[in-house]
Amino acid sequence: MLGVRHKFPNLPERISGLGELAYNLWWSWHPEGRELFKILSRTGWHLSVHNPVMMLHQLDQEVLSNAAKDPHFLRHYDAVMARFEKSMDLSSGWFCANVGDPHQDVIAYFSAEFGLHHALPFYAGGLGFLAGDFLKECSDLGIPLVGLGFMYPQGYLRQKITPNGWQAGACEIVDRENAPIRRVVDKDGNPLVVRVPIIDPPIFLAVWKVQVGRTELYLMDTAIEANTPENRLISDRLYAGNPEQRLRQEILLGIGGVAVLRALGKSFSILHLNEGHPAFAVLERIRELMGEGQSFEDAFEMVRSTTVFTTHTPVPAGHDVFPFELMKKYFSSYLPALRLDYQRLFELGTNPASTSGFNMTAFALRASAYHNCVSKRHQEVTREMWHSMWPDLKVDEVPIDYVTNGVHVPSWIDRRLGDVILNRYLGRDWLDEQDNPRIWELIDEIPDEIVWEHHNLMKRMLISKIRERARLKWLDKETADPNIVMASGVLLDPTALTLGFARRFASYKRPTLMLQDMERLKRIVNNMWRPVQIIFAGKAHPDDQFSKETLQRVFNAAKDQSFGGRIAFVEDYDEQLAQYLVHGVDVWVNNPLPPMEASGTSGMKATLNGVPQLSTLDGWWIEGYNGKNGWAFQGAEGENRDQLDAQAIYEILENEVVPAFYEVDKEGVPRRWVRFMKEAMKMTGPHFSARRMAKEYTEKFYSQSLLASIKMETKKYRKLDTREIKGDVFRHF
């Protein structure tokens, strides 16, 4: 029997459940779980940077022994463990009650990155956090999903900024011994090693497990002795810049991923591809069916009918395209098992509009029966982009659907806001009904003073966190440079209107748009009576020199004395800093170059916490903006679009945002501003939650794919009229 290695032999038997709880990220979005570890040792919780695995490894045996005899701690322990154990039951939950059997109807969710916790830096940006939020919400709803990705030993990027503002990042070596991740072992207790099928020379995979509530996530790792030195590097870091290394990663993610799930005994009915990176998983599923006697054509159609593909990329250059010669090099040993020649394989991955190589998105679109974008606007852009694959249809008839992204509410809403304020005014069961808009209307019943007081607390906590980071940099001899420290936000004012821009630094996101007219910006931020300050954060891809130059320009503005310390660049943006920012800034700024924003979940996280957004009308904001929950501008066109869009932002700031923020009554409360805050929460809470998103995926795609999986299992090749399926199979649909 397969299992995972346990690592806390010194835990007293009475509180041994702490070990299992620490390795299950359930605690990361359940306040009672986090509180239990704080009660055990608040100092340990702080020193471990809110990582209970590290904390349990570091605590003295005396602390653990005393806790096992402390009645106060044991009462909390027993209550939390009872709730934790109950929540692990897959036989309860929305999916079981409304859809199907969670023990049989399993969905395999493949993604190149997952953003779950800062101790697991396997993410680069929004795609990873979307995947992480999806896993958490599937756990909450009891959707039987298993995740598959890579355990990158070097993570993504530990950002270091030089005194002249250049990003000179180093790899962030994952501390696996002190992270909520465990090595999978075989029935004899030895580390499980899986060989990637067919590929020669052979490549082997170690397997790691992350438990996300009820959802299991398995991560592959090539850095093991069984591999050649060259192959050990395949999974080293996220999104390798070298095309050949990237192709090797995607072969392992897809083909190797299916092999890993088979080795684990994890059967699945549906394959969900989160972006095109893991699309080769389709080929491995086909190969398996052909091994059972099916023809390629029949196997392809059977696999296609149970595959869901989500694309997040509205930029043509963002889709992976591999040279055909490179494909030949790595698929020469694999194609005979599919009884395919190169020409037929290449046809499956050729984009009719550009035949320069094997396009992973084109292949995923052909190999999936269900494909979707991540916002309504993204659907319009994507249909136009891929119209050439359906030339006989009108653009608005191209069969690409959309499910607008959402964020996991328990993970991103501030604990005090949720547990104290919303519990009181929305009812203690509000989280269970979070996708019901009528529940969120009760936001209007919260006194303005309470909303404003809470937000000011969050803002002070954000600025304190930024200053503490700067202080630690000053204490570090390697980073104790006055330019770096002063640009890090030490002069931020907790009473000034604070704008936040925290995104991955990519050219289309235009992080320097507000810096277009420096003199006008100086007048805005240095207004004696109504000052404005801007906090920037984000990482540029290590191989993207232009984005590094953009980041350098932002940093130079932050250290420019003429801005009076009212611009800050906060180094090493991660999940923990994101939490502080989306809770604590006054306005979330997002100004992508339309129509290149697929969705933009960072703005959802901020507005969920009552932080209005100022954004270009692109991505999710077209659906989310209602004129009362923030500010929007259309986005200009032509050569001067950046200058015109910057002017639009300045005018909105000067004429709308700044006056509303500083217009306070005799109690010191900006009533008009608080109305914006309340409206932001009322719109985002029910409409842009991961709960709504996960239910929509199930209703639109998973339910139909499960019907198709019955056809696969019964080996019926005719199209199955869903009316033939009796109501007791899928009770909700």
Local structure of 646: helix, strand or coil? helix
- Tokens representing 118 are 């800062």
pLDDT for the residue numbered 5: 61
Do 100-402 and 414-688 come out as alike in CATH topology? yes
pLDDT score of 720 more than 80:
no
Could you tell me if residue 127 is left (phi over 0), alpha (psi between -120 and 50 degrees) or otherwise beta? alpha
Cα angle 83, 107, 211 (rounded to 5 degrees) comes to: 40
Give yes or no for a contact between 253 and 149, defined as CB atoms under 8 angstroms apart.
yes
pLDDT score of 726 more than 60:
no
Closest CA to 570 of 493, 498, 476, 501: 501
pLDDT score of 729 more than 60:
no
pLDDT for the residue numbered 123: 83
Q: What's the average model confidence in pLDDT over 94-106?
A: 88
CA separation, residue 472 to residues 58, 171, 239, 476, 588 (Å): 22, 20, 30, 6, 27
* pLDDT class of 717 with cuts at 50, 70, 90: very low
CATH ID of 414-688, from 3.40.50.12140, 3.40.1280.10, 3.30.70.260, 3.40.50.2000: 3.40.50.2000
pLDDT in tens, 199-251: 888 999 999 999 999 999 999 999 999 999 999 999 988 877 789 999 999 99
Helix and strand tally (H, E) in the chain? 35, 19
Q: What's the average model confidence in pLDDT over 676-703?
A: 97
pLDDT for the residue numbered 236: 87
Break the chain into its structural domains and give their ranges: 3-87, 100-402, 414-688
Backbone angles phi, psi at 44, to 5 degrees: -60, -40
Q: Which of 438-447, 571-580, 708-717 has the lowest mean pLDDT?
A: 708-717
Whole-angstrom distance, CA of residue 307 vs CA of residue 107: 10
pLDDT score of 166 more than 70:
yes
Whole-angstrom distance, CA of residue 136 vs CA of residue 411: 9
* pLDDT class of 646 with cuts at 50, 70, 90: very high
pLDDT in tens, 321-370: 999 999 999 999 999 999 999 999 999 999 999 888 999 999 999 999 99
* pLDDT class of 6 with cuts at 50, 70, 90: low
CA separation, residue 360 to residues 214, 246, 318, 595 (Å): 31, 12, 11, 22
Architecture of domain 100-402: 3-Layer(aba) Sandwich (3.40)
CA separation, residue 192 to residues 200, 208, 522 (Å): 20, 9, 59
Q: Which of 419-428, 443-452, 543-552 has the lowest mean pLDDT?
A: 543-552
Would you give the distance in Å from CA 334 to the centre of its chain? 33
CA separation, residue 540 to residues 37, 104, 174, 493, 697 (Å): 35, 42, 20, 27, 31
pLDDT in tens, 512-569: 999 999 999 999 999 999 999 999 999 998 888 999 999 999 999 999 999 999 999 9
- Which helix (H) or strand (E) segment is 291 a member of? helix 281-291
Backbone angles phi, psi at 457, to 5 degrees: -65, -45
Question: pLDDT averaged over the chain?
Answer: 92
